Amino acid sequence: MLEEIRQQPEALARTLSAELKRVEKFKRLVEKQRPRMVVLVARGTSDNAALFGRYLLEITTGIPVSLAAPSIATLYQAKVDYRDALVVAISQSGESTDTNLVLERARAQGALTLGITNESGSTLAKLAEHVILVRAGREKSVAATKTYTGQMLAMYLLAYALGGRDVRIADLERIPDIVDATLGLEPEIDALSERYRFMRHSVVVGRGLNYANAFEMSLKLMETCYVVAERFSSADFLHGPIALVEQNFPVFAFAPPGVTWPSIGETIGKLKALQAEIVAITDSGNHEVDATATKIIRLPRRVKEILTPIPYIVPAQIFAACLATKKGLDPDKPRTLSKVTLTL
């Protein structure tokens, strides 16, 4: 898992370089007939990438985005009108049976279809009319890391193809270097993880573009460290779940500067008053968090808010991998899990 985390700068750069020509072709296609809506379908970590994509696409393109519920098709056999819609299936392996079924039926019903996968020869790559390949190389760890950030990069490329404002290729080309600099935090994060060796429960909060990262960090803590990790929007957290917090309760917060900071900052402030243990992931552009967070993981560079999600998840991935090791667990082989999960 740690080795694959370290491979992310190269994987991201390779994906961007190799797929840009294909994305430009898709951009020309959708410029002629812009979809009236986008439907994203995925499971597990890929579903968290889809959640990020929902925020990114709606913020930058104004096109309504829905996250598909595969059981509507697989269990209830409902027919959904996908005409004039772009249906995007996201799967690391490209072999998720329910994800592929939704895509197949959507295409039969007249939808424009796109697959995002790490496997060029997969069923998904063959089912979809168009494909963005995540060029991460084989992912051996059960816990997905480099394919998650690769899928997030693919969502940026999709936003670019759909005419997304503030999504510029020149900015995306900076992400691998930002991630590479962030990897330098590994010794610091490894040392910090020792403090949480006996942690059994936690909460992860985020908002906006980093809301999906709250889901992804909590998933990594659950599947590699066996920690019960609840995840919330900072806004939803204040509507009730904050009641579970008591002294020294561990809370992890994605705290970038920008439009989400007032909400995150308010939440962290209330948590401090409850004497919670707050670990904030931020960058050099936010020093207001210093007054409220217990511990800070600070990226060495200031990052434009729209670009924060990929580099911000990297410290969370490192933390989960290091914590699992501190607990005497093998993060590469979580109990009862396999790399490809087949569900209908």
**pLDDT > 80? residue 238:** no
pLDDT recorded at residue 236: 83
Q: State the average pLDDT over residues 134-141.
A: 92
142 — pLDDT class (breaks 50, 70, 90) = confident
- Look at residues 51, 296, 326, 19 and name the one whose alpha carbon lies nearest to residue 172: 19
* pLDDT more than 70, % of the chain: 97
pLDDT recorded at residue 215: 98
pLDDT recorded at residue 242: 81
334 — pLDDT class (breaks 50, 70, 90) = confident
pLDDT recorded at residue 336: 66
Lowest mean pLDDT among 163-167, 252-256, 267-271, 295-299: 267-271
156, with CB counted inside 10 A (0-12, 13-18, 19+), is: buried
240 — pLDDT class (breaks 50, 70, 90) = confident
Strands (E), the chain: 37-41, 65-67, 85-91, 112-117, 130-133, 201-206, 228-233, 250-254, 277-283, 295-299
The Cα 195–Cα 98 span in angstroms is 40
CA distances in angstroms from 244 to 201, 241, 267, 280, 293, listed in the order given: 11, 6, 14, 19, 18
Burial 164-176 (b: 16+ CB within 10 A, else e): beebeeeebeebb
* pLDDT more than 90, % of the chain: 85
pLDDT recorded at residue 44: 92
* Topology given in CATH for the domain delimited by 2-173: Rossmann fold (3.40.50)
Give phi and psi for 206, each to the nearest 5: -160, 175
Q: State the average pLDDT over residues 192-208.
A: 96
The string of DSSP codes covering 266-298 is HHHHHHHHTT-EEEEEEETT--GGGGT-SEEEE
pLDDT recorded at residue 30: 97
The Cα 223–Cα 270 span in angstroms is 29
**pLDDT > 60? residue 340:** no
The Cα 103–Cα 117 span in angstroms is 13
The boundaries of every CATH 3.40.50.10490 domain in the chain are 2-173, 179-326
Average pLDDT, the chain: 94
Q: Find residue 133's DSSP bridge partners.
A: 117
The CATH classification of domain 179-326, taken from the options 2.60.40.740, 3.40.50.10490, 3.30.70.100, 3.20.20.70 = 3.40.50.10490
**pLDDT > 70? residue 343:** no
